[in-house]
A and B are shown apart, each in its own frame.
Chain A
């Protein structure tokens, strides 16, 4: 597992000498209610081997029947990725032995995929890069192995292994890009942004919950280097176990640095599968593709060909929701936000939240300010994302509204948000219960102003001498005395009225 043997070339130097070529294979578990070829439910996290039947256990005599909804979801994805949808295609068997594969073959698609030849435009640092999509095909997931004992957590060296077949037969879509060329130093970021935008697209299509941490979106990253000016493509490696957006970027970066060192030393990059390690940000060698087994693909004889009618495809196309790219353009215009603001919102996963906050009455600028500022900070502190915070967009809108009305200042608003996040009630309930409303009643404030002047005679003297800027000290004293509840503007006015 040690990676100390890998020499690395600093990234900038590597990019100086080599042009990276990347490609991504993304597996997406579809959110269909039932499995790909049987009626078992697909709920995540159920008791192991509780969602199984003769078909997904591959019992002798059982036969698969295609889930029509999975075909529809895959076509939806294909259309959103600008692909051609096959008029006729078949499933194929991919044969290999592994204990988590109930039949020792996986029903997949081989040379006749359902969707081919599309693209996805992604925005990287203001520029649009068109990522070609080679194919989108359907297959069944395998069971999940848990290797107990041994050092590596892999099957070799384990004392024993447990297999959960709940996942076996869950529909998977594999989305394969064409080689992404000429990205240069941006290659790692292009990879990350592609997966991010693909995830957002899939989420908007409502075909998957796209949770990388639960494995419903899994990514294999192919990387190769070509010596600049050589015009020759290098040997690629396929990095697996890349389980977060950040890891996608790190994995590409590491492979570029590692492969550059191999090539610099006059070595040969081995075509192989590599495993990414989240903790170290490195990759290690898996099985070599050069000695990889022959999958003996052949058309699945238990299934009839899939021939989606053009009417059905058009019906699915007509039912597509507004896609993220179009929505981005529309919202940016409606909200009058900068490209940078929009990028920040997307990266924080805040587009939907801001949209809902705006819909609840807040101004786009306020909504952006609260979600990207205070709330993002709270989310980071809590180790969650914005959607994971226990505050509703309507509540954020209400807080923004109270500030606009002058009933809260920013400092009080933060306290209100804190208490809403802590589950103490709605913003109005918190304000009422804790007396957090701004004090702008002159009677109540005058006493505090008088006390502040009395306690700071030297400051008061400066103000009387015309040094109006010194009033800030007295305002601060009043705010402290009123525990932030005073309307600072009004306090300042009262001080100046009194002393000038």
Chain B
């Protein structure tokens, strides 16, 4: 079998059995990147040399008889928001072009320790602000299902890399849906773990109270393998949770929903939802019911305020988090010609270094935090956040998990919403509530929309630290849908091979 078509679990088995070497696996993926990435543009930096060196080290350790973890020798693409020693970290921004961080993110370290091969850094909306990768300073990524479509965002490069078989696994971050939405529109699996379940240390911050690193895979089990490898308490992140990692891999293997109580969120449907999305979603729910789940309808009346609350909280935190990009210590410096003072150089650098969407959010956030407006905007948004948490608490009093479509529509065209920020923001309508509440959610493919033939995602949401439930439901749905759509769904994709 072609190495790039194998799942991470399959590669792991083949590597462990020494049927294939990490070097061969890495080489195969580098060749795939060389063949397709000029069209997909999933990567900002391909780490060919360091990836091959890592692979050689894994092969050496294995030939020495060392017992290695399941990801040893498996390539992983890493969103360019994680710091990586030896590789640039740009966050898709001109202001950080060429910056080489002197330290590894905790997750980078954990991947390296697990023997995973960091094959490259993936494209993203600038500072993770966006839903299409069109806000990347280095050009958009393309959806492997249809290169004229967006791959979602902000972790669009990671999703596109996995969907285009350039890497079996990828890491992203989810702040308002930045893992689940690209996973949905690229027809792959993406998880936002419980906030605090995966470390933020070394993740360049967008909105600190929301940012959550998580995995992408082509199968539920693959996502679970990566989820488990990157998760767990980190003393460097004080919002990290000191609790055992939920048994996500076991749950993905269990794939059993019998007796599980599933609530369909009635508030995440209706106007603005693409009919082709809603019908696939309804089919998926029926399928889960046929597998023995108890399905009920649940209302979360405050979810309709989630989007506006999010667009106050996230920009407020961003306006402060992004203040450090001032040309004084690293990154771009503009106007330092000996005639201007520090303040002018800061202003010129930020003017030149940030894109329009980043500036829009910095201004929004600075305004929302201003004295005299704080209570009306930031303060009110935090109250809404509390109400949304209470909606979830009430819902999880009745059901074990909640489900909804992952996105209101399938992938839209590149350029289609670029001039309409509100339309762009609506892409995260279904995913934002879980970010505000800090609980866990996954997007798993549930077929192709009848109206446009593009992938549809089923979102499953679970209480904080019950991430394993996501994998039980997603794996059950995946298995049940395989009969109809093939396994994985991605085998239906025609975008690249035609």
Contact = CB atoms under 8 A, between A and B. Distances in A.
Interface of A: 54, 57-66, 93, 95, 97, 99, 102-105, 155-156, 161, 163, 294, 296-298, 301-304
Contact of B101 (A59, A104, A155, A297): A59
B204 interface: yes
Given A61-B201, A61-B202, A97-B326, A302 B369 contact: no
Given A54-B102, A60-B324, 10 more contacts: A54-B101, A59-B329, A60-B205, A63-B200, A66-B238, A163-B328, A296-B369, A301-B207, A301-B208, A301-B209
Contacts of B103: 54, 59, 61-62
A93 B341 contact: no
Interface of B: 81-83, 89, 91, 96, 99, 101-103, 105, 200-205, 207-209, 235-239, 316-317, 319-320, 323-326, 328-330, 341-343, 346, 366, 369-371, 374, 378
Contacts of A105: 320, 323
Contact of B238 (A58, A60, A65, A298): A65
Contacts of A60: 83, 89, 91, 96, 99, 101, 204-205, 324-325, 330
- Chain A CB within 10 A, most for which of B103, B235, B320, B325: B320
| A interface: dominant SS | loop
B255 to A, nearest CB: 35
Contacts of B89: 60-61
A196 to B, nearest CB: 36
A101 to B, nearest CB: 9
B201 A294 contact: no
Contacts of A57: 329
B201 A62 contact: yes
A301 B203 CA distance: 14
Given A59-B330, A95-B323, A155 B209 contact: no
B234 to A, nearest CB: 9
Contact of B205 (A61, A97, A155): A61
A298 B239 contact: no
Contacts of B320: 93, 95, 105, 296, 298
Contacts, number: 104
Contact of B323 (A97, A155, A297, A302): A97
Contacts of B201: 61-63
List of 5 A-B pairs having minimum Cβ-Cβ separation, nearest first: A104-B323, A301-B208, A296-B369, A301-B209, A60-B204
A155 B341 contact: yes
A58 B208 contact: no
A163 B326 CA distance: 14
B496 to A, nearest CB: 33
Given A60-B83, A63-B201, A304 B101 contact: no
A396 B141 CA distance: 81
Contacts of A161: 342
B239 A61 contact: no
Contacts of B316: 298
Contacts of A294: 370-371
Contacts of A304: 238-239
Contacts of B323: 95, 97, 103-105
Nearest to A295: B371
Nearest to B95: A60
Nearest to A105: B320
Contact of A301 (B83, B96, B204, B317): B317
A164 B414 CA distance: 47
24 contacts: A58-B324, A59-B102, A59-B330, A60-B96, A60-B204, A61-B89, A61-B202, A61-B205, A63-B236, A63-B238, A65-B236, A93-B320, A95-B319, A95-B320, A95-B369, A97-B343, A104-B326, A105-B320, A294-B370, A296-B319, A296-B371, A301-B207, A301-B209, A302-B205
Nearest to B202: A61
A83 to B, nearest CB: 25
A33 B200 CA distance: 26
Contacts of B317: 298, 301
B101 A302 contact: no
Contact of A155 (B83, B329, B342): B342
A302 B239 contact: yes
- Chain A CB within 10 A, most for which of B89, B200, B208: B208
B324 A303 contact: no
A63 B326 CA distance: 18
- Chain B CB within 10 A, most for which of A60, A64, A105, A301: A60
Nearest to A156: B341
Contacts of B326: 97, 99, 104
B204 A61 contact: yes
B378 A61 contact: no
A64 B238 CA distance: 7
B129 to A, nearest CB: 15
Contacts of B374: 296, 298
B324 A296 contact: no
A274 B317 CA distance: 32
Contacts of B330: 59-60
